[in-house]
């Protein structure tokens, strides 16, 4: 029952206000859930938690998170919680997404150049990245999710987002070199292909195994002097897997 997707117009379907230029068919429209106010509240919470990059905050206001989650979960879209997106995968908590985007942008003036995202999932973070980067290449290994993201992003018309179906462990050489690479899934180590495809002066932000089921967030900076690793706080992401599904 909880997973059932009510059709638009169904009596007990959650209602969402229509937003200019980004209406998506299949999502019920109407009055009731004041999403701009909810996003503002999410923003205040994120600011109180220490998110301060105005570019990241602006992107979080611009992108409607509720359009990326299942209809049954829209009323949780602006809570500080991770949410299931199907195929056993999850969309990260807003504060984790904001933290990673801030780290990715650290020191950048204006937009980043080309960015690679490994793990498109539902496409939410790719939409955020479209506001922060010149070009976004986002790769997903689960065909169903790749197609779902395509559907979610279609009505947003983001010409700088390129969705790819493939194994992100190999990166995406055709788009390289990247100013930044961000991963939403954690492996045993950061694949060498990502480091190879990173531009000098670029940064990787990714979760990585810290032994057993533990994961930490890591930063890899590629400088003219070499590679610099920084280990940050514990995190919990879905596993980085090789091959297609």
Residues at the contact surface with ligand SAH, assessed by CB under 6 A: 85, 89-92, 118-119, 121-122, 124-125, 139-142, 145, 167-169, 184-185, 238, 240-242
Comparing CA positions, the residue from 180, 110, 182, 105 lying closest to residue 139 is 182
- CB-wise, 65 or 226, nearer to ligand SAH? 65
Q: Which residues pair with 50 in a beta bridge?
A: none
The residues, ordered by sequence, that sit 6+ positions from 191 with a Cβ below 8 Å of its Cβ are 169, 170, 171
Q: How far is the CB of 2 from ligand SAH (least distance, A)?
A: 20
Token representation of residue 62: 């611009």
How many angstroms separate the CA atoms of 115 and 17, rounded? 32
- CB-wise, 18 or 143, nearer to ligand SAH? 143
Using DSSP bridges, classify how beta strands 185-186 and 178-183 pair: parallel, antiparallel or unpaired.
Answer: unpaired
Token representation of residue 34: 């004041």
Q: How far is the CB of 241 from ligand SAH (least distance, A)?
A: 4
How many angstroms separate the CA atoms of 130 and 111, rounded? 10
- CB-wise, 92 or 215, nearer to ligand SAH? 92
- CB-wise, 34 or 241, nearer to ligand SAH? 241
> Is 92 a catalytic site residue?
yes
- Residue reference for tokens 């919990």: 236
Q: How far is the CB of 117 from ligand SAH (least distance, A)?
A: 6
Q: How far is the CB of 76 from ligand SAH (least distance, A)?
A: 15
Q: Choosing from 25, 52, 92, 189, which is the catalytic residue? A: 92
> Which positions are annotated as active-site residues?
92
């Amino acid at each position: 029952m909880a997973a059932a997707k009510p059709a638009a117009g169904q009596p007990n379907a959650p209602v969402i206000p229509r937003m200019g230029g980004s209406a998506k068919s299949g999502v019920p429209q109407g009055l009731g859930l004041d999403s701009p106010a909810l996003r503002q509240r999410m923003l205040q919470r994120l600011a109180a938690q220490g998110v301060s990059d105005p570019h990241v905050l602006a992107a979080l206001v611009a992108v409607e998170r509720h359009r990326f989650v299942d209809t049954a979960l829209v009323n949780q879209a602006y809570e500080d919680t991770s949410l299931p997106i199907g195929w056993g995968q999850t969309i990260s908590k807003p504060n984790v997404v904001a933290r990673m985007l801030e780290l990715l942008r650290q020191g950048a003036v204006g937009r980043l150049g080309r960015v690679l995202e490994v793990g498109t999932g539902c496409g939410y973070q790719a939409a955020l990245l479209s506001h922060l980067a010149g070009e976004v290449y986002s790769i997903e290994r689960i065909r169903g999710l790749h197609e779902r993201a395509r559907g979610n992003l279609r009505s947003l018309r983001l010409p700088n987002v390129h969705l790819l179906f493939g194994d992100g462990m190999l990166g995406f050489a055709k788009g390289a070199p990247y100013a930044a690479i961000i991963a939403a899934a954690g492996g045993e180590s950061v694949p060498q292909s990502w480091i190879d495809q990173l531009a000098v002066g670029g940064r990787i932000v990714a979760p990585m195994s810290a032994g057993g089921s533990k994961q930490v967030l890591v930063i890899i900076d590629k400088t003219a002097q070499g590679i610099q690793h920084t280990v940050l706080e514990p995190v919990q992401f879905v596993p980085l897997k090789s091959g297609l599904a």
